[in-house]
Amino acid sequence: MALSGLVLVGFVCGHMLGNLQMFLHSDWINEYAYKLQHLPYGLLWVVRTVMLIAVVAHVITAVMLVLENHRARPEKYVARDTLQASFASRTMRYTGFILFFFIIFHLMHFTIQNVHPEFKDLEVRLEGVSGSHGSLESRTIWGVYDKLSAHGEFPESEALAVHDVYSMVAIGFSPTYWYVSVFYIISMGLLCYHLMHGISSMFQSLGLRNAIWRVRLDRIALVISLVVFVGFASIPVACLTGLIEPITPLVAVH
Ligand code: HEM
């Protein structure tokens, strides 16, 4: 459980940093998304497979843990400390369950895009496109990737337009769909709570949480969880308040 949790926490932190590029020029997230989708050697599917295995392992070990706890102690706790511990682990089940459905919706929203099929038509020309040789002169950090890997270069035919992920997110969280943003912000709150307890118990499983480090590690878990909450929730909030606006309005697609 700790190992699969570690993989998932790593993904969540990386995904949050990637998403925060929404606060930079739209080229940043659009080029980043393009490059992830076009990773060489089928690496995207390697990462997706590792993630899927981590999620399945996390769910299976969680169910096993619940069953084991129940078998070991079928009657209710009396002492206050153990009561608190049992409250934390019970809420982990519920928050985990809700987060599972959040991820399903999220994949339908932004990856498969069947919640808004019109998102598939959002295309934009990266402003960094040089025009010469049909290749991209990147103005973002992703230019480093181009220099390191020949596979990173834009094929001539695709140099002009990439999927406009920036506008997709901005429209998905726009005031018209305020209820979607509210759902995301609540889910991020649950993710924060889940991570707080999850990271603390991960430290314990890894044998790091002794009497001296207990308080410090709990604080580290709290800080990571709050950073993840603020990092993710800031995006729907920025779209709702007009700080982030689509560069391609949805009406222009039809
Ligand atoms: C405000 C919060 C979030 C935003 C704006 C966001 C944005 C996105 C976007 C735009 C994509 C599609 C990328 C593409 O296909 O080009 C995506 C994919 C994904 N997101 Fe998020 N995300 C958020 C929160 C989360 C959270 C909290 C999780 C997990 C707990 C998560 C898990 C995923 C997964 C698993 C994918 C699929 C990656 C793949 O293509 O294999 N996201 N997200």
- CB–CB of 187/99 below 8 Å? yes
- This prediction has a pTM of 0.86
Q: Provide the pLDDT confidence category of residue 134 given band limits of 50, 70 and 90.
A: very low
Q: Count of alpha carbons within 13 Å of 97, Cβ hemisphere only?
A: 7
The letter for the amino acid at 57 is: A
pLDDT value, residue 138: 56
Q: Which of 35-49, 95-109, 170-184, 202-216 has the lowest mean pLDDT?
A: 202-216
Neighbours of 165 (CB within 10 A): 24
Mean pLDDT score of the chain? 83
* pLDDT top residue among 152 and 94: 94
Q: Provide the pLDDT confidence category of residue 122 given band limits of 50, 70 and 90.
A: very high
Ligand 1 center–CA 68 separation, angstroms: 33
Question: 162: which strand partners?
Answer: 124
Residue whose CA is at the smallest distance from ligand 1 atom 34: 107
What average pLDDT score do residues 61-75 get?
79
What stretch of H or E contains 163? Answer: strand 162-163
Helices (DSSP H) in 73-148: which residue ranges? Answer: 80-106, 142-148
CA-172 nearest atom, ligand 1: 5
Q: Is 39 in the pocket of ligand 1 (CB under 6 A)?
A: no
pLDDT value, residue 135: 47
Render pLDDT for 198-207 as a digit per residue (tens, 0 to 9).
888 888 887 7
Cα dihedral value 107, 108, 111, 116, nearest 10: -150
Using CA atoms, how far apart are residues 225 and 126, in angstroms rounded to an integer?
A: 34
